Structure 1
Amino acid sequence: MSSFNDFGNPQVAALPAHLKQFIVDQHYEHYTPVDHAVWRYVMRQNYSYLKDVAYYPYIPGLEKAGLSIEKIPSLQEMNDALAKIGWGAVTVDGFIPPAAFMEYQAYRVLVIAADIRQLKHIEYTPAPDIIHESAGHAPIIADKDYHEYLSYFGSIGAKAMFSAQDFELYEAIRALSILKEMPDADANEINKAEELLAHRQENMGEPSEMALLSRLHWWTVEYGLIGNLASPKIYGAGLLSSIGESASCMDSDIKKIPYTIDAINYTYDITKTQPQLFVTPTFQNLIDVLETFANTMSFRKGGVYGLQKAIESKNTCTAVYSSGLQVSGTFTDFKQHNNDPVFVKTTGPSALAVDNRQLKGHGKDYHKDGFSSPVGKLNGHAMPLENLSVEELNYFGIEQGKTTELNFESGISVIGEVKEIITSNCKTQLITFTNCTVKGKAGELLFDPTWGVYDMAVGEKIASVFCGAADKGEFLEIAYKSDTLTHHAAYDNNTIELHKLYQQVRNRRHNGGDFGFLGNVWLMLQKNHHDDWLCALEILEILDHEEIEPDLAAEIRSFLEQKAINEPECKKLINDGFYLIKHPVEQKLVV
């Protein structure tokens, strides 16, 4: 990204640095006339069909999201429109890691893949593209209940524990989606990528919180239906942006299941149509189910459960003491007593924060070799240490400049000279010692005076554990970013000529004027681009609507009818195009 453009949108401007790294320029000028024709075809089909089966705000939602039928939207247009409902949009390079995707939602920013599907994948693409992200996600955002769900989902997803296997699966999905969108992808390469994806899906082990949340996201945000089981409406972006599956999903052989927490037990495959779909009666039900799941997550449960998940994750995680102190780092060990943590340990660069703001002097440069500290109450003290005022701490001999001995109920002892006491929000969070010795219940050495200054976290319990650093900006957490880049085609002369033919038809449709050259475009299509059907269909549309050149129109129609017979994969696309010539859609949106 050359320079950060916030499009004058407050939501985009508020994005933190660790999310901005995924943003790429849209490069609107790279969209070809064929790309705009693909967008127009899909949007006209959607407008015609989805007005009857999509959840009611879809059509007005297009306008509120700054989208039109005639051309691919620019990011500026979308941001101008979305800002009015408190959202924004940015473009990225294909799939980004799930944790980052979720966090964008928490910031109320839509992540839009800058690329658009090829003509041969016009009905559905496994790769994220601008049709899916903008025509799929954006229109429903106009619904307040739905966008509340989206941003709430994002805030919960941003805290979810993820595993090394999650990253491997993400890489396999990204690689396959990129391969499938390559114009001349090698069939063997695709087979290998599909086998690798299948292997990783089958060897995920116990699914992580992120993996389970991704299922809830898939069965709602991507493939959700709303209403009753007998006649539901579509709100999922994957269905709204697939002109094939938006129709087939309503077939009776696609099982419809009431949406409950049980949806986490259903895995999904991004490369295939869905064998079942879930129907929610209301968007509020989505929030209720999400809340049920959130109550099982580490950030809500904390304690031994959360720390164990943090260790299994092997990623930067944050443990929050009941005092409010946040310890961020890679957790490698903890001790427990009566099923409560009594000592925690990180390895490698760690940091301390309160209220998601790093404590001065306690960044990962200072705690470069890790952090360890007891958890729990002191022996013989009814009140937790964190709740004692400075005066009460002094009364118990915990006073700056004095040597004190702290004996915890767990049997851990801390002896040293108090150097500093940090308090905030009426809680004591950190006591720093010099010349300090820390020993475990069995007398084992946990900290030696020769190791330097000892910073002891204060808190009776580990209240919460979540993935990522507390203060991401200060921790300078570089989110996991793929090395695999999406493929951008270099066009040969023949393809460039085809682009020019599409542009000529587009100009004629928009500007009117002499129609005679449409016959020349048709001749060039016949001569050099016999595989094309969409440009031919667009010429037929103009001739039919203006009731001109009936012989030319009949010749083109005959060609398309024959193509539909000879090439079954084109049959529905061509017939749907014929239908729209007869039943044109009218868009009342500003183009």
Structure 2
Amino acid sequence: MLIEELVAGRTEPARSAPPPGAAADWTIPQHWERFTAEEHGVWDLLFARQQELLAGRAVRAFHEGLDVLRLSHPGIPQLEELNERLFARTGWTVVSVPGLVPDDIFFDHLANRRFPAGNFIRKASQLDYLEEPDVFHDVFGHVPLLAQPEVADFMQGIGKHGLHALEVGALHRLARLYWYTVEFGLAREDGDLKIYGAGILSSFGETRFSLESDVPHRPKFDLTRVLRTRYRSDAFQQSYFVIDSFQDLLGRTFSHGLEELYGELDSLPDLDPAVV
């Protein structure tokens, strides 16, 4: 997977047509009844150990989202039931997709307040790492915070700006913004560092590493620096950017004219996340 071409490991190069059985927007029925007892068991195991680990480590809004959306109910969530509660909160829904989707399809879903979730779950032998996002990463990691209005608006903004970034050849910049916020963002809450990025929230190993290791840098969120900083999808992060609040993130990102900033950064070199 080419990191700077594919958005945060979620998308693939454009294909001429969706796969068999998928609609034009690449969505498929969830068919919740097809999940096996073993697959539900994998969800329950992942949920239980990650919920315990995240106590005191995740932002309050994440735990509130788990409660409001009733995600602690045993087994892989039924999206129809989940969407009733989520839509009532922020107007978002979760849609099933077979796996990676083209960039334009992914951003169009976000721009219309739909979050694509892979309609499969990892095997019991893959609990700690899966390259392609599955239903646990997507629903446990992302959906609780979509019940938070500021996060819901930020994600929609990512969708709209993503479609524009595709048009102007700036997808690599937008991918970095998505990566260092939506997937691997940290926040300062009541004076302590807390996790809000879905890539950390759904990762047993990176949960502790992101907060407790002496290895990574944790600079304050700076939009220009984020857009210039490379990332890797095959290892724990070397830099985590820290926001003060979701409202602050929303304001700092979409009130500065991303399109103009793209042009200004073209003459500047990329930054190594391992170097301050």
TM-score by length of 1: 0.38
Shift of 1:285: 2.9
Does residue 47 (structure 1) correspond to residue 55 (structure 2)? The answer is no
Instruction: Write the distance in 2 (CA, Å) between the matches of 1:143 and 1:277.
Output: 21
Greater relative contact order structure (CA < 8 Å, 6+ sep) = 2
Task: Give structure 2 stretches of 5+ with no counterpart.
Answer: 1-21, 265-276
Indicate conservation of the 8 Å contact 2:99/2:118, yes or no: yes
Q: Which amino acid aligns with 2:218?
A: K
Q: Which amino acid aligns with 2:41?
A: A
Residues 403-426 of structure 1: CA distance to partner in whole angstroms, max 9, x if unpaired? xxxxxxxxxxxxxxxxxxxxxxxx
Q: Which amino acid aligns with 1:110?
A: F
Indicate conservation of the 8 Å contact 1:39/1:69, yes or no: no
1:117 aligns with: 122
Indicate conservation of the 8 Å contact 2:110/2:158, yes or no: yes
2:222 aligns with: 260
Indicate conservation of the 8 Å contact 1:226/1:279, yes or no: yes
Q: What is the aligned counterpart of 1:246 among 188, 191, 207?
A: 207
Q: What is the aligned counterpart of 1:26 among 25, 30, 47?
A: 30
2:255 aligns with: 291
| Counterparts in 2 of 1:116 and 1:281: CA distance versus 1, 3 Å | same
Shift of 1:292: 2.6
| Counterparts in 2 of 1:35 and 1:276: CA distance versus 1, 3 Å | same
Q: What is the aligned counterpart of 1:89 among 94, 99, 105?
A: 94
| Counterparts in 2 of 1:230 and 1:83: CA distance versus 1, 3 Å | closer
Instruction: Write the distance in 2 (CA, Å) between the matches of 1:21 and 1:105.
Output: 12
Shift of 1:122: 0.7
Q: Which amino acid aligns with 1:258?
A: K
For the pair shown, the structure with the greater C-alpha radius of gyration is 1
Shift of 1:109: 1.0
Instruction: Write the distance in 2 (CA, Å) between the matches of 1:159 and 1:135.
Output: 29
Indicate conservation of the 8 Å contact 1:113/1:130, yes or no: yes
1:157 aligns with: 162
Shift of 1:223: 0.6
Residues 300-341 of structure 1: CA distance to partner in whole angstroms, max 9, x if unpaired? x9xxx9xxxxxxxxxxxxxxxxxxxxxxxxxxxxxxxxxxxx
Instruction: Write the distance in 1 (CA, Å) between the matches of 2:107 and 2:254.
Output: 14
Indicate conservation of the 8 Å contact 1:54/1:234, yes or no: yes
Q: Which amino acid aligns with 2:109?
A: Y
Instruction: Write the distance in 2 (CA, Å) between the matches of 1:84 and 1:265.
Output: 37
| Counterparts in 2 of 1:96 and 1:266: CA distance versus 1, 3 Å | same
2:267 aligns with: none
Instruction: Write the distance in 1 (CA, Å) between the matches of 2:241 and 2:99.
Output: 26
1:80 aligns with: 84
Shift of 1:213: 0.4
Instruction: Write the distance in 2 (CA, Å) between the matches of 1:244 and 1:154.
Output: 29
Q: Which amino acid aligns with 1:266?
A: T
1:360 aligns with: none
Residues matched between the structures, number: 240
Shift of 1:50: 1.3
Matches within 5 A, 1:538-549: none
1:274 aligns with: 237
Indicate conservation of the 8 Å contact 1:160/1:297, yes or no: no
Matches within 5 A, 1:503-582: none
Shift of 1:228: 6.5
3-state DSSP of counterpart to 2:115: strand
Shift of 1:161: 2.7
Larger strand proportion, structure 1 or 2?
Answer: 1
Instruction: Write the distance in 2 (CA, Å) between the matches of 1:227 and 1:69.
Output: 29
Residues 534-584 of structure 1: CA distance to partner in whole angstroms, max 9, x if unpaired? xxxxxxxxxxxxxxxxxxxxxxxxxxxxxxxxxxxxxxxxxxxxxxxxxxx
3-state DSSP of counterpart to 2:199: helix
| Counterparts in 2 of 1:279 and 1:48: CA distance versus 1, 3 Å | same
| Counterparts in 2 of 1:69 and 1:125: CA distance versus 1, 3 Å | farther
Residues 109-132 of structure 1: CA distance to partner in whole angstroms, max 9, x if unpaired? 111110111112212311110011
Shift of 1:221: 0.5
Larger helix proportion, structure 1 or 2?
Answer: 2
Matches within 5 A, 1:96-175: 96-161=101-166
Indicate conservation of the 8 Å contact 2:216/2:240, yes or no: yes
Q: Which amino acid aligns with 1:255?
A: H
3-state DSSP of counterpart to 1:286: helix
3-state DSSP of counterpart to 1:159: helix
TM-score by length of 2: 0.79
Q: Percent identity?
A: 28
Q: Which amino acid aligns with 2:214?
A: S
Indicate conservation of the 8 Å contact 2:96/2:118, yes or no: yes
Indicate conservation of the 8 Å contact 1:215/1:266, yes or no: yes
Matches within 5 A, 1:436-455: none
